[in-house]
Amino acid sequence: MANPPLPTIARIWRGRTRREIADDYAVYLHEAGIKPLIEKALGVQSFREDRDTESEFVTVSYWEGVEAMARFTGGDPTQIHHLPRDKEFLIALPESVQVLTIVGSFGRVG
C-alpha cells in the first residue's frame, strides 16, 4: 500500500464579516467553501477570531503541490474564487490568497 502524498504547499484565505452575522457566515462557509476543499485538498483547517465588531475567518488548505492547487482552482492557484454569497456576508471581498511552501511540521499536528 503506497504512502499518501505529503503536503508541500499551504493555501491561506482570509475574510472578515460583521460580528452579528458571523455565526451564519460560519455555517455558510463550511457548507459552500470548506466541504468542496475537503474533497480535493490533502487537509483543511478553519479558524475564527471574534473581535468587538467583526469576525475574521481563515481557511488553510494543504496541497501536494502547486499543480494540485491549479487543478482545483482551474488555473492560477493564487486566484480568488468567491463564494456566491460572499458579497452579502463579507465586509470586503478578499483580493488574494497566500500560498506558502511548507518547510517543516512539528508537534502533534504535524
Average pLDDT across the chain, whole number = 92
- Hey, what's the cell of 30? 463550511
Q: What's the rounded mean pLDDT across residues 89-102?
A: 95
Assess whether pLDDT exceeds 70 at residue 43. Answer: yes
Q: What's the rounded mean pLDDT across residues 93-104?
A: 93
Residue 106: the pLDDT is 85
Domain boundaries of the chain, sorted by first residue: 9-101
Identify the CATH assignment for 9-101 out of 3.40.50.300, 3.30.70.100, 3.30.450.20, 1.10.3210.10. 3.30.70.100
Strand, helix or coil at 26? helix
Q: What does the pLDDT look like over 59-84, one tens digit per residue?
A: 999 999 988 888 877 788 888 889 99
Q: What does the pLDDT look like over 15-41, one tens digit per residue?
A: 999 999 999 999 999 999 999 999 999
Q: Are 85 and 26 in contact (CB under 8 A)?
A: no
Residue 21: the pLDDT is 98
